[in-house]
Amino acid sequence: MHYILAKNLDWLGPLKEEIQNSYNTDSKEVSGLPILKVSSELDLKGKYLAFSTTALINTEQIPEDSISKQAQALVDSICKKINPEESINLHVFSMTNKYGVLETGRAEILKDKIHKNLRKNKIRILRKKFDRSLAIVQVMLLDDRSVILSVQTSEEVSEYNSLYSPYVGGFNNVEDDKKAPSRAFKKIVEAQEILGTKISENQTLIDLGACPGGWTYIARKNGASVIAIDRSELREDLMVDEKVQFLQTDAFKYRPEETLDWSVSDIISTPDRVIELITTWVLGKLCRNFIFTIKFQGKDGYHVLEEFKKLADQCDFQIILKQLNANKNEVTIMGRERV
């Protein structure tokens, strides 16, 4: 079975429809949790699921037992695919109907025991940071105390690039920044982590629909030079920043003179128009990395995601479609040039 996680119960419906429409496959709900189960016969390599926060692929289920016995069974399974001296990403969490993703309580005790047993087998566990070039081991405890295990070797991980999250259980809470001009800054912080590429010193970035400047603020904080486009001006300190060039023009019409490191957009417009804009920037190779949000009115417009998925397979970018934790009725499409 594959276990596909949604942000919360509200997004199970759109996720179920997406799985049906994209891959013509039925999915089953896991009682009261924002999780869908899909048969392993569906090959998820290279696939996209915009309304999923993360996925546990090709899982096995360890039945309810004492924590020590479950830990031993998990480590025995992990060791079948992971070699001694290898480093891995390890995510252990409970999915509860009340609190969502939890790393405390039974999950924390189980994690400690897995750590100890893996160390005996000389397997190294990465602390804190997530590394997409390493194997990913996910352990999810369910309400009935059974445990779902997914082990993907480093070779397999890249095949499921768009489906994983660097965050445990796909959940995160980007820290507040009181100096940011808007709460929207959280979206670009989260998207960079999911993409696995940071906006960095001396890079060039265009911010389409930039006002009041949350995204421009983050790009400047990371040291990039920004072209910010909007009909309305940004916050005063960003307007006088000599590394911010503000252009009061239509973001749909602007084209750069040379390829930029980043093109990012949080424009409020119809899904069709935003997809067209992404296509212009991506197929036209006007940028090396991109982050675009698509905002929906109700369920209208979800179909554009299906159209974009077809296009995504044909371009020279590694693409991720994901509803961020910071997204409301939005999906973020992001990508980076393949190396």
Ligand X SMILES: C[S@@+](CC[C@H](N)C(=O)[O-])C[C@H]1O[C@@H](n2cnc3c(N)ncnc32)[C@H](O)[C@@H]1O
Q: Give contact residues for ligand X (rule: CB under 6 A).
A: 181-182, 184-185, 209-215, 229-232, 250-252, 266-269
Q: Which is nearer to ligand X, 169 or 181 (CB)?
A: 181
In sequence order, the 6+-apart residues with CB closer than 8 A to the CB of 87 are: 123, 124, 125, 126, 131, 134, 135
Q: Which is nearer to ligand X, 145 or 212 (CB)?
A: 212
Name the minimum Å distance from CB 267 to ligand X.
4
Q: Which is nearer to ligand X, 69 or 273 (CB)?
A: 273
Name the minimum Å distance from CB 250 to ligand X.
5
Q: Which is nearer to ligand X, 167 or 185 (CB)?
A: 185
Q: Which is nearer to ligand X, 111 or 187 (CB)?
A: 187
Name the minimum Å distance from CB 212 to ligand X.
5
Name the minimum Å distance from CB 224 to ligand X.
15
Cβ burial of 23 (10 Å; 0-12, 13-18, 19+) is middle
Q: Which is nearer to ligand X, 95 or 180 (CB)?
A: 180
**In this chain, which residue has its C-beta nearest to ligand X?**
214
Query: Taking Cα atoms as reference points, which of 275, 271, 277 lies closest to residue 206?
Result: 277
DSSP string, 281-319: HHHTT-EEEEEEEEE-BTTBTTHHHHHHHHHHTTSSEEE
What is the rounded distance in angstroms from the CA atom of residue 301 to the CA atom of residue 228?
A: 27
Helix H segments across the chain?
12-23, 67-81, 106-120, 154-157, 185-195, 214-221, 236-239, 271-283, 303-312
Name the minimum Å distance from CB 189 to ligand X.
11
Question: What size, in residues, is the chain?
Answer: 339
Q: Which is nearer to ligand X, 27 or 265 (CB)?
A: 265
In sequence order, the 6+-apart residues with CB closer than 8 A to the CB of 8 are: 34, 100
Query: Taking Cα atoms as reference points, which of 200, 193, 187, 320 lies closest to residue 261?
Result: 200
Name the minimum Å distance from CB 165 to ligand X.
22
Name the minimum Å distance from CB 134 to ligand X.
32
